[in-house]
Amino acid sequence: MSTHTDRDLAARVLGVAAGDLPLEGTIGSFDGATVWLNSPPLTPASLRGHVVVVQFWTYTCINWLRTQAYYRAWSQRYRDQGLVTIGVHTPEFKFEHDLDNARWAVSARKIDYPVAIDNDFEVWRAFNNNYWPALYFIDAQGRIRHHRYGEGDYERSEMVIRQLLADADRLLNRTATRFRLIGRTSGRLRATSATSRPPDSTQAAVQSGTNSIPIPRRRSFGSTIGDSRETGLSAPTRARSTVLTAGLRTSSTLAM
């Protein structure tokens, strides 16, 4: 079977093929976050080995509100398979800089995943981001493999998550197959292969100093949710308070 045919088959089974996810860069730094909610501070190094989806949002953005149910569902559905979801709250308006307001929004929207408060736009710039909402899909090696700006395309976004988790499982199995030297016989090295499947009680953890977020071992995938309807994208030109028909806002709408 040709490589092209293999990719076509993978695309049909998984919804998106690994070859369709080009390298778009590496995960940005979170050092500029002023506060973390629901989590100790996370770093690219501490997230290595996990599939990560980063969402840039601001709580008054109607376009973000329309996407939030999907993002929260993905976080809960794939958490046990090793997915880490991170919300980066980068405020558009002055009152959105108020930490108490951001805490209220996190509670009101039932956000239970890590949230980085990015009042100074440092994380925003680290990702070269320009939109609310924006999603960045990062593989277990810390590489950005896909992005989505604005609303829509929910089914494909979930398929990308599933593909990256499948890739991470294969990487984990290869890494776990290590050889331990147990002696020498007739001048040759003897070795045994370590188990490629972690025990049921094993938990991966996103380490951050002495703190960690426990993430149970991966399980089988669930079904997809949502639809794949596109809202489209267009160049935003309106005032900052305008809800764009493209399903996103850009930094050009910020108040001067």
21-171+204-253: CATH class = alpha beta
State how far the Cα of 131 lies from the Cα of 253, in Å rounded to an integer: 10
Answer whether residue 210 shows pLDDT above 80.
Answer: no
Q: Do the beta carbons of residue 81 and residue 53 sit within 8 Å?
A: no
The tokens of 232 are what? 């489209």
What average pLDDT does range 140-151 have in this prediction?
97
What average pLDDT does range 200-212 have in this prediction?
38
Helix axes 3-14, 154-176, angle to 10 degrees: 120
Which tens digits make up the pLDDT trace of 120-140? 999 999 999 999 999 999 999
The tokens of 104 are what? 């209220």
What size, in residues, is the chain? 256
Domain ranges of the chain: 21-171+204-253
The pTM for the full model equals 0.69
Banded pLDDT at 251 (limits 50, 70, 90): low
Tell me which amino acid residue 180 is: R
